[in-house]
């Protein structure tokens, strides 16, 4: 089971690296600053966590804002750096690091990008819709999905009992959904208003001019 998780995490990273536009990254100093800045900011936020057994931890993710800013592939590559940086300041075991990456980076990034694609094609293209649905609602859903994914891994691996996972982890999930939504929503709102060019998934002609 552990090697399957490691293999899946490595595969996601390699596919994301292979399919990313690295020429654009080399040419764009803005994209470089956003990638490194996003990694630094979220690595710092992740240090404020309540760690439980076997890599279970409660902390803000910020992955929804990162994905809306960089896109899915670049977000999961940057997310790998965030997880590795947190090895230096956390008690995560090497056996759980791939599961942490998949559940806390890949799952919320995937939820965010799928939600963004659905909203883009199904709902009116309006700044309020982009902010409220893609940032606030999606961020709350993303952290809930991340917790469920990590709890499933801990249970299926036999590290913790269901009662332990439920009482010490999942019951806290609803309490962190609104703060996570608020954190991501505020970050995305500020970028939409002041720095729309920082958001890969947002553009003034589409969401404001209606083109």
Average pLDDT, the chain: 89
Angle at 110 between CA 126 and CA 6, to 5 degrees: 165
The reported pLDDT for the residue numbered 207 is 84
Please give the residue range of the domain that contains residue 108. 2-207
The reported pLDDT for the residue numbered 3 is 77
Tell me if 177 sits within 8 A of 140, measured CB to CB. yes
Domain count of the fold of the chain: 1
We report the CATH number of the domain holding residue 105 as 1.10.1760.20
Question: pLDDT for 190-210, tens place per residue?
Answer: 999 999 999 999 988 888 766
Q: How far is CA 202 from CA 6, 24, 34, 44, 134, in A?
A: 33, 18, 15, 26, 11
Question: pLDDT for 129-156, tens place per residue?
Answer: 999 999 999 999 999 999 999 999 888 8
What sign for the dihedral angle of Cα 143, 144, 149, 153?
A: positive
Q: Is the pTM of this model over 0.85?
A: yes
């Amino acid at each position: 089971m552990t090697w399957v998780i490691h293999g899946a995490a490595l595969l996601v990273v390699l596919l994301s690296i292979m399919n990313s536009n690295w020429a654009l990254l080399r040419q764009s100093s803005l994209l470089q600053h956003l990638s490194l800045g996003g990694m630094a900011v979220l690595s710092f936020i992740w240090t404020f966590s309540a760690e439980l057994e076997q890599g279970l931890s409660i902390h803000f993710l910020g992955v929804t804002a990162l994905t809306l800013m960089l896109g899915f592939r670049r977000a999961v590559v940057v997310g790998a750096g965030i997880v590795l940086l947190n090895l230096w300041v956390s008690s995560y075991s090497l056996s759980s690091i791939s599961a942490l990456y998949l559940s806390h980076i890949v799952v919320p990034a995937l939820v965010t990008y799928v939600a963004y694609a659905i909203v883009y094609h199904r709902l009116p293209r309006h700044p309020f819709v982009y902010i409220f649905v893609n940032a606030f609602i999606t961020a709350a859903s993303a952290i809930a999905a991340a917790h469920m994914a990590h709890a499933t891994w801990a249970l299926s691996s036999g590290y913790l009992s269901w009662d332990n996972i439920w009482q010490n982890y999942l019951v806290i999930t609803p309490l962190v959904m609104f703060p996570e939504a608020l954190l991501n929503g505020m970050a995305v709102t500020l970028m939409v208003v002041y720095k729309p060019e920082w958001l890969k998934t947002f553009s003034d002609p589409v969401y404001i001019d209606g083109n």
